[in-house]
Amino acid sequence: MRTVIFDLDGTLVDTAADLVAAANACFRDLGLGDLLDPAEDAAIAMRGAKMMLRTGFAKVEGFGVDEVDRQYDRVLAYYDDAIAVHSALYPGAMEAVAALRAEDIAVGICTNKPEALADKLLRALGVRDDFASLVGADTLPVRKPDPLPFRESVTRAGGDPARACLVGDSETDRETAREAGVPSILVTFGPAGHLMADLRPEVLLADYADLPDAVRHLAL
Ligand SMILES: O=C(O)COP(=O)(O)O
Ligand SMILES: [Mg+2]
């Protein structure tokens, strides 16, 4: 079965504001104020909680790598408490998913978010059951760009990893697809959209309305 696997943050869902809010709550607890800006640091947020902590601590004195590790669980706890306040699906995402499913193409998710948080977010948005699989950062011992979680997300969706592609928004997604030997479709509407062309994916996607056609042309 042909399969399209989606990344989550920055690809299916615009999660930047809730992620930045969680990091800022941690920084405020440490007396540092709001070190990140939801608009300016959206691309940093798409690279995960540790990257947000590293970026914030780089702006002040006296907080090193150890503090990033110490605060990581706290960021995730804040995020867990307010995971879908501002987060929203990108326009046309679920219409594209429905169109793919109508063509008997399996759809699943492979994310570097912890699986439980990804599951909670998808349920809050009312779309968990639209995806046949969900593999997160901690589902397997390895995470993207290792190709294993991608392959697992394909097989759990009932698909064949040789007839699959990955829709993503980052160098990590590009690398994952390359390692798995499948085409990548990188979206240009996320916070790092302007950088996607340099990664030379098989497809650059500016609008979800164009996804079903793009997948057809890949001839999976
Ligand atoms: O949380 C991250 O590191 C990024 O998550 P993503 O893989 O869904 O983009
Ligand atoms: Mg992403």
Rounded mean pLDDT of the chain? 97
Q: Which atom of ligand 1 is nearest to the CA of 7?
A: 8
Q: In the prediction, which pLDDT does 144 show?
A: 98
Q: Which residues contact 86 (CB under 8 A, 6 or more apart)?
A: 17, 18, 21
Q: Which residues contact 111 (CB under 8 A, 6 or more apart)?
A: 7, 8, 9, 118, 134, 135, 136, 137
pTM beyond cutoff 0.90: yes
> Mean per-residue pLDDT for 86-115?
98
Give me the mean pLDDT over the 66-94 stretch: 97
Mean pLDDT of 169-187: 98
Measured between alpha carbons, how far is residue 35 from residues 41, 60, 66, 76, 182 in Å?
Answer: 10, 9, 18, 17, 38
Is 73 marked active-site?
no
pLDDT of residue 65: 87
Supply the ipTM of this predicted assembly. 0.94
45-59 mean pLDDT: 96
Q: How confident is the model at residue 64 (pLDDT cuts 50, 70, 90)?
A: confident
What share of the chain in percent tops pLDDT 90?
A: 99
Strands, E assignment, 32-124: 88-89, 106-110
Ligand 1 pocket: which of 111, 140, 150 to mutate (most atoms <8 Å of CB)?
111
**CA–CA dist 24, 149 (Å, integer):** 30
CATH superfamily membership of 3-13+88-218 = HAD superfamily/HAD-like (3.40.50.1000)
Domain spans of the chain, in order of start: 3-13+88-218, 16-81
